[in-house]
Amino acid sequence: MPVPCRTGCGKNAMLKRPKTGDALCKDCFFWAFETEIHFTITKAELFKSGDSVAVAASGGKDSTVLAHVLKTLNQRFNYGLNLMLLSIDEGITGYRDDSLETVKQNRDDYEMPLKILSYKELYGWTMDEIVAQIGRKNNCTFCGVFRRQALDRGAAMLGVKCIATGHNADDIAETVLMNVLRGDIARLKRCTAITTGSEGTIPRVKPLKYTYEKEIVMYAHYKKLVYFSTECVFAPNAYRGHARALLKDMEKIRASCIMDIIYSGETMAVKEEVTLPSQRTCIRCNFVSSQEVCKACVLLEGLNKGLPKLGIGKSSKAKKMLEEYNAQQTNYKESLQAAAKELDDVQSKKELCLSDSKNCKSGLCKGKTKLNRNSSINSNDYTNSSNAKECCSNCSGSCERIKVNADVNNTKVNTLLEKYVINETNIAKVNGEGTLCNPSNSDDNLNNSDDEEHTHAEYIDTHIEQEDETCSASCGKLGSLNIGF
């Protein structure tokens, strides 16, 4: 029985919108999807005519759809924006190749200039060079810290007015929950803001703030957009993993909970008497930092002075190391060795993986679970991100972020379509359509990818510092460059 499109366009509906449950035809779905984003952009006054806007492009579905829709709306409604794509290349052999290829495809498809900025250009070092300096143990710290600042540095180099990121409604709801779990009141306050950025910095905007991830996937599919899908086999971090698992379970019961959580975040405030860590700018590089000198600058200083472990431990330690370094320039070698040894001692105590071995998918953690498994993720006994390192130690080089093969990927789209597509004949067509980089058939193992994501996200007890200084930022999430929360 054909269902008429709810808009009254006369055509038959072909899908049920995940967000509202309304039955729409394909064209009306496109129109609704795009018009909603237009509404968000205009109502929240995200852009001004004449602005240069960098779209943070990772090659994933969120940033691909964002670039496509911004391009479309810019033409349709004469925004007068100068749009460009901005990608970051960490300089890890083999790591970004596929996603950067996809971004280049975006560039050609949407006729947008693309700037790929490498860590080499931004920081003077590639990740490969850093790994060579520091070994594999601590490189996730560098990767995470540098990545968080890379977009800001890149945008400054491009001279743009703002950065548009692909964070969608699901991401934001998940982040609200995550920040509650880790008690991060400052981020809890910021994370639902549609525009973020303090004075003197380049603001970041989230045009997809109210867009459901499921609709993004469907839009990309029906528009046959090319995107690259990656997933990390590791949990992004314990808190995000918990939050994601919880949100998925809740969404099954009430789909509107994503919007409800965002509304909760929007109407919450931090009590006046609570003092938040002040956000300031780094005295060296002028980018946002909570300290006088930002972590990126400390790490760079370490690299440039041949003290690569500087900044990996506590900041008091870093200070001490620097002082020693400066005082004993003459005894350079000795002090370096002493400092390194000192750090090593501390590190080795910390580096036991806290993952519950039965849940850690890495296989690297087996036998490393000596530290008591019940020590909480909030325990302050183990500072820094070091605990996550075992899990991620070979993130760079051969990052565990696996390219989700097209089988699994198509499966995911198919599962979604099966649930929301009204006319069954449409499902049959899906397999042949070229939405993904390497589409191929997979009629069996439906649901496979969902389950997989579920289990690996759960209960991995890695301790992280306030900031996500793990590889999570790079390989944690489909699509969007996961920074800035």
Partner 1 sequence: MICKKCKNSGSVTVRKEHMYCDNCFMLNINHKFRSCIGKNKILSSNDNVLVCLTGGKSSTVLLDLIFNGLSQDSHKKLRMVPFFLHITGLGEKENDITVAELIIKQCQSYNFNVYIVNICEYYFQRNNTLPSVNSVTDVHNWTELNSNTNLKSILGKMTSTSSNDIEMKIKHDIFIRAAKQLKCDFIFTAETTTTLAVNLLSNLAIGRGSQVQDDIGFFDNRDENIKILRPMKDITEEELHHYIRIKNLIEISVDTIRGNSLQSVIKTFVTDLQENFPATVSTVCKTADKIGSVDKNTNRCKFCKSNLPEKSDKITAIDATIFSRTVSNGQPPIANRNTGAEEQEDIKMSLFPFIDNYFCYCCSKNYLEAGLHDSNFFEISGSKNL
List interacting residues with Zn ion (CB under 5 A): 5, 7, 9, 11, 25, 28, 140, 282, 284-285, 294, 297, 392, 395, 471
Position of tokens 């549609």? 194
Instruction: Select the binding partner of residue 471 from Zn ion, partner 1, none (C-beta < 5 to 8 A, by kind).
Output: Zn ion
Q: How far is the CB of 8 from partner 1 (least distance, A)?
A: 5
Nearest residue to Zn ion by CB is 395
From partner 1, Zn ion, none, which one binds at residue 42 (CB under 5 to 8 Å depending on kind)? partner 1
- The site partner of 423 among partner 1, Zn ion, none (C-beta below 5 to 8 Å per kind) is none
Max Cα separation, the chain?
Answer: 85
Closer CB to partner 1, 72 or 394, in the complex: 72
Toward partner 1, which CB reaches closer, 15 or 56?
15
Q: Is residue 459 close enough to count as binding partner 1 by CB under 8 A?
A: yes
Give the one entry of partner 1, Zn ion, none that residue 327 binds, where binding means its C-beta sits below a cut-off of 5 to 8 angstroms depending on kind: none
Beta pairing class for 162-164 and 52-56: parallel
Of 3, 116, 158, 181, the residue at the interface with partner 1 (CB under 8 A) is 181
Distance of closest approach, residue 255 Cβ to partner 1, in angstroms: 11
CB of 168 to partner 1, least distance (A): 12
> Which one of partner 1, Zn ion, none interacts with residue 32, CB within 5 to 8 A by kind?
partner 1
How many other C-beta atoms are found inside a 10 Å radius of the C-beta of residue 349? 11
> Nearer to partner 1 by C-beta: 49 or 374?
374
**Minimum CB–partner distance for residue 262 and partner 1 (Å):** 5
- Considering the complex, what minimum distance in angstroms separates the CB of residue 205 from Zn ion? 23
Helix (H, G, I), strand (E, B) or coil at 53: strand
* C-beta separation of 309 from 138 below 8 A: yes
Rounded distance, CA 85 to CA 415, Å?
31
What whole-number distance in Å separates Cα of residue 303 and Cα of residue 19? 48
Q: What string of DSSP letters covers 170-200? A: HHHHHHHHHHHHTT-HHHHHHTT-SEE--TT
Beta bridge partners of 281: 288
Q: Which of positions 232-291 make contact with partner 1 (CB under 8 A)?
A: 238, 242, 245-246, 249-250, 253-254, 256-257, 259-272, 274
Say how far residue 327 (Cα) sits from the centre of its chain.
Answer: 40
Between the CA of residue 144 and those of 72, 113, 460, 479, 484, what are the distances in Å?
Answer: 33, 26, 19, 17, 12
Task: Choose among 479, 477, 484, 480: nearest CA to 243.
Answer: 477
8 makes contact with partner 1 (CB under 8 A):
yes
Closer residue to partner 1 (CB): 383 or 405 = 383
Q: Binding segment for partner 1 among 21-29, 122-130, 281-289, 299-307 (CB under 8 A)?
A: 21-29
Q: CB burial class (10 A; 0-12, 13-18, 19+) of residue 121?
A: middle
Q: Find, among 377, 184, 179, the residue nearest to 274 by Cα.
A: 184
Helix (H, G, I), strand (E, B) or coil at 427: helix
SS3 204: strand
Q: Would you say 281 and 287 are in contact if contact means Cβ atoms under 8 Å apart?
A: yes
CA atoms within 13 A on the CB side of 84: 19
The reply to whether 30 sits near partner 1 by the rule CB under 8 A is: no
With contacts defined by CB under 8 A, name the span among 29-37, 143-151, 153-161, 410-418 that binds partner 1.
29-37
User: Which residue is listed with tokens 């880790």?
Assistant: 182
Chosen from Zn ion, partner 1, none, partner binding at 284 (C-beta under 5 to 8 Å by type): Zn ion
Q: How far is 299 from 307, CA to CA, in rounded Å?
A: 9
CA distance 111 to 117: 19
Name which position in 278, 316, 329, 372 contacts partner 1 (CB under 8 A): 372
Binding status of residue 370 toward partner 1 by CB under 8 A: no
Q: How far is the CB of 270 from partner 1 (least distance, A)?
A: 6
Does position 28 bind partner 1 by CB under 8 A? yes
Interacting residues with partner 1 (CB under 8 A): 5-9, 17, 19-20, 22, 24, 28, 31-32, 35-36, 38-40, 42-44, 77, 176-177, 180-183, 185, 188, 194, 209-210, 238, 242, 245-246, 249-250, 253-254, 256-257, 259-272, 274, 356, 372-374, 376-379, 459, 461
